[in-house]
């Protein structure tokens, strides 16, 4: 059995604020919404997606009260097509007062931006690098670098790691390992 990430449901305090952020900044669309549970109209679930193959990738339920810490999810992660998408997200987040902790981090195998959404939930937006690097790893990267300089800097940061190599070779090894199970 192979499991792939499908969606996350997050308990929220302010559904409107969260829907506005996830649609305006992250580019999701509301695909459905309605009352949930025995409480009837008191609780609502809102479904959001960016792709035509998934009814929802994220859903919110207005069930959080007070100022307790966010739920037990550390962060949710969204893969993008390329580094320019990550840079665009950093630009969208910059100067916003409803997000915090904006941190461009590279793991050697990904260029990411981590941040906290309006209700302090952790979010990562990333694109893959051309390499596999044993994890955990994490170093800051400069979004102002052009692609060539970023590739060179990342290779310099992680190139000496024992498992550093082309991502395709890692995936080929994984495919062979899974096939032999």
The two three-digit tokens of residue 92, written as one number:
């969208």
The better pLDDT of the pair 149, 2 is held by 149
Q: Across-strand partners of 23?
A: none
Query: Are 146 and 170 in a shared domain?
Result: yes
Same domain? 31 vs 97: no
Range of the domain at 32: 7-65
* Exposure on the CB side of residue 39, measured as CA atoms within 13 A: 11
What pLDDT, in 10s, does the model give residues 49-88?
Answer: 988 888 889 998 888 777 776 666 778 999 999 999 999 9
Local structure of 144: helix, strand or coil: coil
pLDDT tens-digit series, residues 1-35:
355 777 898 989 899 999 999 999 999 999 999 88
CATH number at residue 178: 3.10.180
Distances (CA, A) of 84 to 3, 112, 132, 172: 29, 11, 20, 27
Indicate if 154 and 179 belong to the same structural domain: yes
- Is 1 domain-assigned? no
Query: What does the DSSP assignment read for 49-67?
Result: ESSTT-S-SEEEEE---TT
């Amino acid at each position: 059995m192979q499991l792939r990430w499908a969606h996350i449901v997050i308990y929220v305090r302010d559904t409107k604020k969260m829907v506005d952020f996830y649609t305006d900044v992250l580019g999701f669309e509301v695909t459905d919404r309605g009352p949930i549970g025995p409480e009837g109209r008191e609780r609502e679930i809102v479904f959001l997606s960016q792709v035509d193959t998934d009814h929802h990738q994220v859903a919110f339920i207005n069930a959080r009260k007070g100022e307790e810490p966010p739920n037990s999810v550390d962060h949710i992660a969204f893969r993008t097509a390329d580094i320019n998408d990550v840079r665009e997200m950093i630009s969208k987040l910059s100067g916003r007062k409803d997000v915090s902790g904006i941190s461009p981090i590279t793991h050697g195998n990904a260029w990411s931006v981590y941040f906290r959404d309006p209700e302090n939930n952790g979010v990562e937006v990333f694109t893959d690098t051309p390499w596999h690097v044993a994890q955990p790893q994490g170093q800051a990267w400069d979004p102002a670098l052009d692609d060539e300089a970023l590739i060179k800097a990342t290779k310099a940061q992680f190139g000496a790691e024992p498992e550093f190599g082309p991502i395709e070779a890692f995936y080929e090894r994984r495919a062979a390992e899974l096939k032999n199970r």
